[in-house]
Amino acid sequence: MDSCEPMTAIDECREAAVPGAPGVSAVEFREAMGHFATGVAVVTSIGDDGEPVGTTANAVTSLSLDPPLLLVCFDLSSATLQAIRSHGAFVVNVLGHRQRHLSANFARRGLAAAWDGVRHRRGPTGSPRLDGVIAVVECTVEHALPGGDHEIVVGRVRHVETDGDGAAPLVFWRGGYTSLDGGLPA
């Protein structure tokens, strides 16, 4: 098998590596990636109107320790992505296993009442920090990169807080929530 040069276009590389191979459907890809357990976070920012916005995300990962960077992937139609582009800052609020309701609340697109009853405070960048989460990572936008039907936002970490009570994280796996030991759903 020929190897691809680092700057070769992905489609060209795939064709060179596996000639005549069929494409992978979105359904197949989603099902396969569903086997990769992830944490769950609510990413928040401020809209042009000064009101808080947020969305549930599991496409979040650390990127670099020096400088401290993380990345979050957003659907191109995301209102939170639009707010982050405008505001230039965001917070990754890492959810604990008892905060499934927050995940569901912020997963609903266009829900005007998403912030009703959600306790939060503004951090140093002005972005909302949700009360009671197990970790808060506040960032300013470092870069934004295209990623198919998503945009990859790289954030420079400006402030972090963690909850010292040892709460377990909310975990998403195979289309639902579960515990870390694979036992009963959280």
Q: Is the Cβ–Cβ distance between 123 and 160 less than 8 Å?
A: no
How many CA within 13 A on the CB side of residue 35? Answer: 4
Q: Which of 91, 99, 96, 81 lies closest to 145, judged by CA?
A: 81
Tell me, yes or no, whether 103 lies in a domain. Answer: yes
Tell me, yes or no, whether 26 lies in a domain. Answer: no
pTM score: 0.82
Helices (runs of H) and strands (runs of E) counted in the chain? 4, 12
Instruction: Say which CATH number the domain at 133 has.
Output: 2.30.110.10
Handedness of CA 119, 72, 58, 53 (dihedral sign): positive
Tell me, yes or no, whether 50 lies in a domain. Answer: yes
Q: Is the Cβ–Cβ distance between 156 and 69 less than 8 Å?
A: yes
Tell me, yes or no, whether 143 lies in a domain. Answer: yes
The runs of H, that is alpha helices, within 7-160 are 10-17, 26-33, 79-87, 100-107
For the stretch 121-175, pLDDT in tens is 999 999 999 999 999 999 999 999 999 999 999 999 999 999 867 788 998 888 8
CA 91 to chain centre: 10
Tell me, yes or no, whether 27 lies in a domain. Answer: no
Distance from C-alpha of 46 to C-alpha of 31, rounded to nearest angstrom: 33
Tell me, yes or no, whether 175 lies in a domain. Answer: no
Give the SS3 label for residue 83: helix
Tell me, yes or no, whether 7 lies in a domain. Answer: no
Q: Furthest-apart CA pair in the chain: how many Å?
A: 57
The runs of H, that is alpha helices, within 111-157 are none
For the stretch 80-123, pLDDT in tens is 999 999 999 999 999 998 899 999 999 877 655 688 889 999 99
For the stretch 24-49, pLDDT in tens is 888 888 888 777 788 899 999 999 99
User: How does the average pLDDT of the chain come out, rounded?
Assistant: 84
The number of distinct structural domains making up the chain is 1
Residue span of the structural domain in which 99 resides:
39-167
Q: Which of 141, 118, 130, 57 lies closest to 93, judged by CA?
A: 130
Tell me, yes or no, whether 21 lies in a domain. Answer: no
